[in-house]
Amino acid sequence: MGIELQNITKQFGEYKAIDNLSLNIASGDLIALLGPSGCGKTTLLRIIAGLELADSGKIILENKDTTNLPPRKKNVGFVFQHYALFRRLNVLENVAFGLNVLPFKERPSRSEIRDRVEHLLKLVQMDWAQKRYPSQLSGGQRQRVALARALAVNPRVLLLDEPFSALDAKVRQELRRWLRKLHDEIHVTSIFVTHDQEEALELADKIVVINKGRIEQQGTPQEVYDHPANAFVYNFLGNVNVFHGRVHNGKVSLGAHNVDAPDDLKDIEEKPSQTFVRPHEIGISRIRSNENDFAGTIREVRLLGGQIGLNIECEGLDGPVEAEVPRELFMNLQLAKGVQVFVSLNRVRIFTGDYEI
């Protein structure tokens, strides 16, 4: 096991940041801790690194119990949201820091340190900047140096705290792919914290969705995206339309229509329900193809890069529907503001329970 967390609890005053959380991560995996801000994901990361002390629980890194070790002995690599490079040291000295502070007996020779640092800087494609200071680098470059610095000490695990969130969209995407490639090369067990579901879906071997200090669901990106365990996960993984209704003897009310309830909800006599639909899973046509289609009028058209966003007011539904259609379909159907369309809600997910958005 790469990382084993057992019953971690952490409370700040009245506020429970981590609530009896357990998690196992296989060696060599790249894991995303995904959750809204304030859900406890960063606290969890800092607890693993020893920067924060858990109230109770056990932390085992690569089969070594590190719960009571001081942070400098945990041997984790930590990458900070705002890089945290040493501003008075140049790139070379930054990356070498973790080796230079080793006790004399364990410290490699000067030339070995230099070789290792140069190797790492090549790995992160920053070897051209050895003598630069952090202030002379861009955000993306700084974060790559920070990564090299964290890797220099041969960490048991690598922890990244929202590593890309301070970068602009284009660099963020580039760096994301680059990190994935790098991880495939070095295979150190890694956890990165993010609130960006796209980042988690694209980058991680496994996603752990966290809310209010608890794990809501964990699994591969596909599992989590296609089979969300509950309304929170579904909602957090992408844009959604929500329709409130009731489950009643095998039927779910959806606006003015009733649709068949999914198997797991068949036996419920009577319960409030929420029906979720992702905008890109909404069917749009100019002719009614099914009796359950809703007639509606396009109120707003928005350009979303490759997709077109539509805001449609439907008869028989309590709120407007947000849909996304490919440009081609948009052109073919000659859609525009004010046009009458039929909306089909085929691929819906229905949850019952008290979850509120």
* Residues in touch with another protein (CB under 8 A): 49-51, 71-78, 80, 82, 84-88, 97-98, 101-102, 133, 135-136, 146, 149-150, 152-153
CA distance 78 to 54: 18
Count of residues in the chain: 357
Q: Shortest approach of another protein to residue 8 CB, angstroms? A: 18
Q: Shortest approach of another protein to residue 84 CB, angstroms? A: 4
DSSP secondary structure, 230-268, as one string: SHHHHHHTS--EEEEEEEETTEEEETTEEEEPPGGGTT-
Q: Shortest approach of another protein to residue 146 CB, angstroms? A: 8
Cβ nearer to another protein, comparing 144 with 349: 144
Cβ nearer to another protein, comparing 88 with 105: 88
Cβ nearer to another protein, comparing 147 with 323: 147
Q: At what angle do helices 110-123 and 91-100 cross, to 10 degrees?
A: 130
Q: Shortest approach of another protein to residue 134 CB, angstroms? A: 8
Largest CA distance in the chain: 79
Question: Which residue in 348, 356, 344, 346 sits closest to 265, CA to CA?
Answer: 348
CB within 8 Å of 35: residues ≥ 6 apart: 41, 195, 209, 210, 211, 236
Side-chain-side CA neighbours of 54 within 13 Å: the count stands at 28
Cβ nearer to another protein, comparing 74 with 183: 74
Q: Shortest approach of another protein to residue 75 CB, angstroms? A: 7
Cβ nearer to another protein, comparing 126 with 231: 126
